Amino acid sequence: MIHPTAIIHSGAEIGPDCEIGPYCVVGEHVVLGPRCRLHSHVVVDGHTVLGEGNEIFPFACIGLKTQDLKWQGGVTRTEIGDYNTFRESVTVHSATGDGEVTRVGSHNHILAYCHLAHNVTVGNYVIMSNVATLAGHVVVEDYAVVGGLAAVHQFCRIGKMSIIGGCSKVVQDVPPFMLADGNPAETRTINKVGMERNGVSEEAQAALRQAYKILFREGLTIKNALARIEAELPRLPEVVHLVEFVQNSQRGICK
């Protein structure tokens, strides 16, 4: 299951039933969980842990040193969950500061040429289309979709079940359950298709549509819009999550 041309450091931990293809390189501090598959020409290095069943395609590089000029050395980590797909030429960089972590959850689909920079946190069931880019310290919540060639500014947050249109420039937080698009990106409407696919109830979808109108179409300040949402809409989990996400925004939200 390990091709003879692969170079695997003696200190690496390789789980059962892993497949490691031609010309792959696996570094000293790497841990591969069971049933990971590295196709060919894959590099996994640094203090990097991958869980079970991850599939990595040719020329992807996982866990290498950050590009951040603030890097001063130390032990930085990359932690990846289970059953993720990293397509061709994807890069996932380790964190910047000693003891810090770049973290990717499980069941994510990261398409060709995507970049996940230092200190990003990606949840579960996220899709990043070709050449999508996350700058440092970006947080992507579960079930979000980042369109092809989209770029997300450092320290932004991408909310749960949101979708970002292709070629968008994201410089502020994208609220959960919403569709954002443009340069710079603006929140256009609710992500109805995404919510339907992920089983969000009709009641919650209707409430989120009303929340969208209050937040983005009535000319209110964020504070007043949130007060109206809390006063007028049912306290469904999705509505509560939207309100808390906006309240906790440090960069502001895409309007």
d(CA 41, CA 43): 7
d(CA 133, CA 112): 11
Overall pTM > 0.95: yes
Please give the pLDDT value at position 214: 98
Question: Which of 45, 46, 39 lies closest to 73 in space, CA to CA?
Answer: 46
Please give the pLDDT value at position 186: 98
Structural domains in the chain, CATH included, are 7-189 (2.160.10.10), 196-247 (1.20.1180.10)
pLDDT, averaged per 10 consecutive residues of the chain (255 residues), comes to 97 98 98 98 98 98 97 97 98 98 98 98 98 98 98 98 98 98 98 98 98 97 98 98 98 96
Strands (E), 83-146: 85-86, 91-93, 101-104, 109-110, 115-116, 121-122, 127-128, 133-134, 139-140, 145-146
Structure tokens at 74: 């130390």
Please give the pLDDT value at position 63: 98
